């Protein structure tokens, strides 16, 4: 499978041109049909395999697989993907009770890892490999082959220039004032062709044949081989990569070990020991938002100022992490991928003791950072306490409900409902820190209207006393940032391969392979010097002009009488 077999356009006009350049598609499809035809009955097992193999490596199959690949990639952009937005997938499953499970069954939530998608690209790559291996062999042979013999009738070639040499041309050469023999003319044209980077061969009949543009097929092969290496690189990355995220409140820190990650994914060959033991303390986090009329609220800057300790015992140093400027520490890359607000609260229990004090991470729900979260005080006595609600950095409460209208802190409010219950057993079962597990808890009701649950709003510094005893105070608001730590060893295989692919592509699309022949033809006493050429790519741009130049070089006369065929 190669995309640039365009040589055939001129091959029909080159009757004498027997050799076809390495593996043109015509040759390939002929080979395919040759193997395919006797395939009708009684193929046998090996024959069957051979048949499948030749079918798989035909251009037609490759073309079909390419189309299929394009088609198969589309659903992944229409249906939410588990790997990209698991929340959307769950939402879809909730909303589509019949369609959801069907989608799930055929892998539409995991298109790019589904068996059918994998089958298409794997078949495509097998077809590609099956196609390039024989072509490499053919190409290596063609590299060592000599340019083809000079055809008998040069004037029938697509590009042709000639000039009559007068009978006394041997003494007519200007400048030198010495004889230019036939032999010498052929030498001159040979030198001219070599200067133009042709591979030149002197034929036994005294003519010259030349060829150039071998890099076209080389580029073509390089492109396709590089694609295989892109896939290899992707596979290596998948096997060995890891990526974890951790939400860190400004003022606190993160140490690189598995226990500190909120979320961690790694390839099968990942080894936990390869996590480098660095630690990061987040000192401050600067954010700026657009306050002008255009794109109001859009982010303008995110910058985390951190102190990094590369390894335990080493001297800490300061650094910044920004979008587009990740931090690289001993092979791991630390990205700033998200951020949000963490209200700092103090919960006192019915006994008057502090049951919880510190920042609580709330998750942003929209672009203006309307954030949701839960505050838990399981150690509160006599009853344990829990709160759930919204944090609004720039709060507005209107008929669409409470929401934030700007991502920065202009009117911070914490809207909460409260629950209380008997102290529960320590189960040790991990639970989400962002939602409150209300089993065994009762919602605290409004003392003025016992039918309504208690709802209250805290501004920084405000305290809310709870009817059943205890209180909660909003001490302030802190920000948290989500750090992503990851490493993709092997990605350089893919990047270098893509670079080679682009290079190969340029060679295969822009290099024009050409063949040129030159000879002196003597008929009835008059001698004609002829040069003919064949552009083996689809276009003949400038070949005629180039040949005329070459002729001028050899027959050094001002304004040579060249006869051109058009």
Partner 1 sequence: MTAQTFSSLALVTAVVIYLLAFSMHTVEWASARKIKNDEADAVREPALVGAGGPDVVPPTSGSAPGSGAAATGGSAPLTPRQRSETFGRLGVSFTMIGLACAIAGVVARGIAAGRWPLGNMFEFTTMAMVIIVAAYLVLARMGMRWLGLPVTLLATVGNGLAVTVFYVAVAPLVPALHSVWFVIHITAAAISGSAFNIGGLISILYLIKKRAEDKGTVGSMLGRLPDARRMDVIAYRVLAFAFPLWTFTIAAGAVWAEYAWGRYWGWDPKETWALVTWVIFACYLHARSTAGWKGSRAGMIAILGLAVFWFNFIGVNLLFAGLHSYAGI
DSSP per-residue string spanning 224-243: HHHHHHHHHHHHHHHHH-EE
The contact mask relative to partner 1 for 83-112 (x = CB under 8 A, - = no) is xx--------------------------xx
- Tell me if 385 contacts partner 1 by CB under 8 A: no
Task: Select the residue interacting with partner 1 from 135, 216, 243, 512 (CB under 8 A).
Answer: 243
The two three-digit tokens of residue 514, written as one number: 């050409």
- Tell me if 239 contacts partner 1 by CB under 8 A: no
Nearer to partner 1, 466 or 497 (CB): 497
CB 545 to partner 1: min, Å? 8
Task: Select the residue interacting with partner 1 from 174, 294, 399, 561 (CB under 8 A).
Answer: 294
Distance in angstroms (rounded) separating the CA atoms of residues 118 and 436: 40
The answer to whether 562 and 163 are in contact (CB under 8 A) is: yes
- Tell me if 238 contacts partner 1 by CB under 8 A: no
Task: Select the residue interacting with partner 1 from 195, 202, 265, 325 (CB under 8 A).
Answer: 325
Beta-carbon-side half-sphere exposure of residue 402 (alpha carbons within 13 Å): 19
Short-list 24, 15, 13, 20, CA closest to 159: 13
Distance in angstroms (rounded) separating the CA atoms of residues 438 and 446: 18
The two three-digit tokens of residue 535, written as one number: 């552009």
CB 129 to partner 1: min, Å? 16
CB 394 to partner 1: min, Å? 19
CB 17 to partner 1: min, Å? 15
Edge-to-edge, what's the strand order for the sheet holding 317-321?
A: 253-255, 279-289, 299-309, 317-321
Q: Which residues pair with 265 in a beta bridge?
A: 243
The residues in 329-368 that bind partner 1, with binding defined as CB under 8 A, are 333, 335, 337
Task: Select the residue interacting with partner 1 from 193, 543, 551, 554 (CB under 8 A).
Answer: 543
- Cβ-based burial of 472 (10 A; exposed 0-12, middle 13-18, buried ≥19): buried
- Tell me if 527 contacts partner 1 by CB under 8 A: no
CB 341 to partner 1: min, Å? 18
Indicate the SS3 state at residue 139. helix
Short-list 378, 433, 90, CA closest to 263: 433
The residues in 20-79 that bind partner 1, with binding defined as CB under 8 A, are 24-26, 29, 59-60, 62-63, 66-67, 69-70, 73-74, 76-77
- Tell me if 158 contacts partner 1 by CB under 8 A: yes
Distance in angstroms (rounded) separating the CA atoms of residues 374 and 434: 5
- Tell me if 114 contacts partner 1 by CB under 8 A: no
The residues in 127-156 that bind partner 1, with binding defined as CB under 8 A, are none
- Tell me if 122 contacts partner 1 by CB under 8 A: no
CB 30 to partner 1: min, Å? 10
The answer to whether 305 and 294 are in contact (CB under 8 A) is: no
Task: Select the residue interacting with partner 1 from 203, 276, 484, 527 (CB under 8 A).
Answer: 484
Q: Which range binds partner 1 by CB under 8 A, 198-206, 277-285, 432-440, 537-545?
A: 537-545
CB 536 to partner 1: min, Å? 13
Nearest 5°: the CA angle 84, 86, 90 is 145
Q: Tokens 């079962």 label which residue? A: 429
Distance in angstroms (rounded) separating the CA atoms of residues 64 and 70: 10
DSSP per-residue string spanning 355-404: EEEEE---EE-STT--EEEEEEETT-SSSEEEEEEEEETBEEEETTEEEE
The residues in 266-285 that bind partner 1, with binding defined as CB under 8 A, are none
Nearer to partner 1, 171 or 541 (CB): 541
- Tell me if 8 contacts partner 1 by CB under 8 A: yes
The answer to whether 537 and 509 are in contact (CB under 8 A) is: no
- Tell me if 302 contacts partner 1 by CB under 8 A: yes
Task: Select the residue interacting with partner 1 from 501, 511, 531, 554 (CB under 8 A).
Answer: 501
- Tell me if 119 contacts partner 1 by CB under 8 A: no
CB 26 to partner 1: min, Å? 7
Task: Select the residue interacting with partner 1 from 311, 323, 354, 397 (CB under 8 A).
Answer: 323
């Amino acid at each position: 499978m190669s995309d640039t077999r365009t040589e055939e356009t001129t091959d029909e006009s080159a009757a004498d041109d027997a050799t076809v350049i390495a593996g043109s598609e015509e040759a390939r499809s002929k080979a395919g049909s040759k193997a395919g035809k006797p395939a009708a009955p009684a193929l046998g097992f090996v024959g069957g395999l051979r048949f499948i193999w030749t079918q798989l490596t035909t251009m037609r199959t490759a073309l079909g697989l390419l189309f299929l690949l394009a088609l198969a990639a589309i659903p992944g952009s229409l249906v939410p993907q588990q790997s990209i937005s698991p929340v959307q997938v769950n939402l879809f499953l909730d909303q589509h009770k019949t369609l959801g499970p069907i989608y799930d069954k055929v892998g539409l939530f995991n298109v790019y890892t589904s068996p059918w998608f994998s089958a298409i690209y794997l078949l495509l790559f097998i077809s590609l490999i099956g196609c390039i291996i024989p072509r490499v062999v053919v190409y290596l042979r063609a590299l060592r082959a000599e340019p083809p013999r000079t055809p008998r009738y040069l004037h029938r070639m697509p590009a042709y220039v000639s000039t009559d040499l007068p009978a006394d041309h041997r003494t007519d050469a200007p400048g030198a004032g010495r004889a230019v023999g036939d032999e010498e003319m052929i030498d001159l044209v040979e030198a001219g062709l070599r200067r133009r980077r042709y591979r030149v061969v002197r034929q036994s009949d005294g003519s010259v044949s030349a060829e150039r543009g071998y890099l076209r097929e080389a580029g073509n092969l390089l492109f396709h081989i590089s694609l295989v290496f892109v896939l290899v690189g992707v596979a290596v990355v998948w096997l060995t990569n890891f990526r974890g995220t951790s939400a860190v409140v400004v003022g606190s820190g993160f140490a690189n070990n598995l226990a500190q990650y909120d979320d961690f994914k790694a390839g099968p060959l990942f080894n936990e020991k390869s996590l480098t033991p660095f630690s990061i303390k987040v000192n401050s986090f600067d954010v700026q938002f657009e306050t002008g009329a255009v794109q109001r609220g859009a982010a303008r800057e995110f910058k985390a100022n951190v102190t990094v300790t590369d390894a335990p015992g080493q001297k800490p140093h300061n650094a910044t992490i920004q979008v587009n400027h990740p931090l690289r520490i001993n092979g791991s890359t630390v990205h700033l991928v998200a951020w949000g607000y963490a209200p700092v609260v103090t919960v006192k229990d019915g006994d008057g003791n502090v049951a919880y004090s510190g920042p609580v991470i709330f998750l942003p729900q929209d672009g203006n950072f309307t954030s949701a979260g839960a505050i838990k005080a399981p150690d509160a006595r006599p009853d344990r306490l829990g709160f759930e609600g919204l944090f609004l950095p720039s709060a507005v409460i209107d008929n669409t409900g409470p929401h934030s209208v700007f991502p920065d802190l202009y009117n911070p409010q914490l809207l909460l409902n409260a629950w209380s219950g008997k102290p529960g057993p320590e189960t040790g079962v991990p639970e989400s820190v962002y939602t409150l597990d209300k089993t065994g808890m009762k919602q605290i009701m409004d003392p003025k209207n016992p039918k309504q649950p208690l709802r209250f709003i805290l501004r920084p510094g405000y305290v809310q006393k709870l009817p059943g005893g205890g209180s909660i105070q909003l001490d302030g608001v802190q920000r948290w940032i989500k750090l992503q730590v990851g490493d993709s060893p092997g990605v350089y295989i893919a990047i270098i391969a893509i670079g080679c692919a682009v290079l190969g592509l340029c060679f295969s699309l822009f290099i024009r392979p050409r063949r040129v022949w030159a000879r002196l033809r003597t008929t009835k006493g008059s001698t004609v010097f002829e040069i003919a050429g064949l552009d083996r790519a689809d276009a003949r741009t400038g070949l005629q002009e180039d040949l005329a130049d070459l002729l001028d070089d050899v027959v050094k006369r001002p304004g040579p009488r060249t006869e051109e065929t058009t």
